[in-house]
């Protein structure tokens, strides 16, 4: 007895359609009339490249004299990152419990928190900073506020997902024992949430150092102010020192936080 193999599934029409859509969008996006004029872009490269390449070469001729000047802003960047992380971690504890299904059975309240945080997440960090600088003035404060907005949205989303992914046995036991939702959340859900919460907070701290280093480009304090100054004068030899410094800080922070995360979980 022979069994006929099933026919090969015909996937090529769909694959072709997907690639066609991608190609059409790319063509529209790259067309000079209605997209981003790539022709003009390449024209600019043609005009600039000789000057530009000498600038890029400067990147590798590090000018270490700027190093002492970079340390205070770098410290401020780290301070902003820590301050932003601390405030948003505190705000995120109740909000996470509020927006997870297991710890807040009332759907409308959950929906409101999630909807607001989705809106908050839709605006990029530097745009917040640009608007907040115009609102509350130049300095570290608008930067910290921008970081808090960004961080709360991230921590709450990820921690709430972690809470919902956990098991609800203990919470049910608490309910059976007659606990109010607040008592259940405080004594049962909160200890369960710690590992996810700490690991997301560490992640946000790393992210904050990266972000707060550039927030100064719009006037929100920290290393970005110096980056902005250096770039206006095209001092790429100094820019390279700042970038290296930032890389070093980020690598140290990542090593530290991954060590901590291993210890905690």
Sites for other proteins among residues 67-96 (CB under 8 A): 75-76, 79-80, 82-83, 86
CB–CB of 246/67 below 8 Å? no
CB of 182 to other proteins, least distance (A): 22
Q: CA 230 to CA 225: how far, in whole Å? A: 9
51 touches other proteins (CB under 8 A) = yes
Position 227 contacts other proteins (CB under 8 A): yes
Which of 17, 24, 49, 172 touches other proteins by CB under 8 A?
Answer: 49
CA distance 192 to 167: 10
126 binds other proteins (CB under 8 A): yes
User: Are 156 and 92 spatial neighbours (Cβ–Cβ below 8 Å)?
Assistant: yes
Length of the chain: 265
Q: Does 226 bind other proteins (CB under 8 A)?
A: no
What gap in Å lies between CA 143 and CA 86, rounded to an integer? 14
How far, rounded to the nearest angstrom, does the alpha carbon of residue 215 sit from its chain's CA centroid?
13
**φ/ψ of residue 233, rounded to 5:** -95, 10
Of 160, 193, 196, 218, the one binding other proteins (CB under 8 A) is: 218
Tokens of 100: 């997870």
**Position 44 contacts other proteins (CB under 8 A):** yes
Instruction: Name the site residues for other proteins (rule: CB under 8 A).
Output: 22, 25-26, 28-30, 34-38, 40-42, 44-45, 47-49, 51-53, 55-56, 59, 75-76, 79-80, 82-83, 86, 118-119, 122-127, 130-131, 133-136, 139-141, 144, 210-211, 213-214, 217-218, 227, 231, 234, 236, 239, 243, 246-247, 250-251
């Amino acid at each position: 007895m022979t069994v006929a193999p099933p026919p090969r599934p015909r996937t090529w029409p769909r694959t072709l359609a997907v690639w066609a859509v991608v190609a059409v969008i790319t063509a529209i996006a790259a067309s000079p009339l209605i997209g981003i004029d790539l022709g003009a872009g390449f024209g600019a490269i043609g005009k600039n490249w000789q000057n530009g390449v000498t600038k890029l070469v400067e990147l590798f001729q590090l000018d270490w004299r700027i190093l002492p000047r970079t340390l205070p802003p770098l410290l401020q960047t780290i301070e902003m990152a820590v301050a932003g992380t601390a405030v948003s971690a505190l705000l995120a504890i109740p909000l996470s419990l509020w927006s997870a299904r297991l710890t807040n059975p009332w759907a409308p309240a959950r929906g409101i928190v999630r909807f607001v945080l989705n809106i908050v997440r839709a605006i990029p960090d530097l745009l917040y900073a640009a608007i907040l600088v115009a609102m509350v003035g130049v300095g570290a404060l608008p930067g910290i506020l921008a970081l808090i907005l960004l961080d709360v949205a991230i921590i709450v989303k990820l921690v709430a997902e972690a809470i919902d992914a956990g098991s609800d046995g203990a919470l049910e036991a608490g309910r059976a024992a007659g606990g109010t939702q607040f008592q259940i959340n405080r004594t049962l859900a909160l200890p369960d949430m710690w590992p996810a919460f700490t690991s997301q907070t560490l992640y946000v701290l790393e992210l904050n150092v990266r972000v707060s280093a550039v927030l100064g480009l719009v006037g929100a304090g920290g290393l970005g102010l110096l980056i902005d100054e250096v770039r206006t004068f095209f001092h790429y030899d100094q820019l390279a020192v700042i970038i290296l410094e930032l890389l070093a800080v980020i690598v140290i922070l990542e090593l530290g936080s991954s060590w901590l995360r291993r210890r905690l979980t």
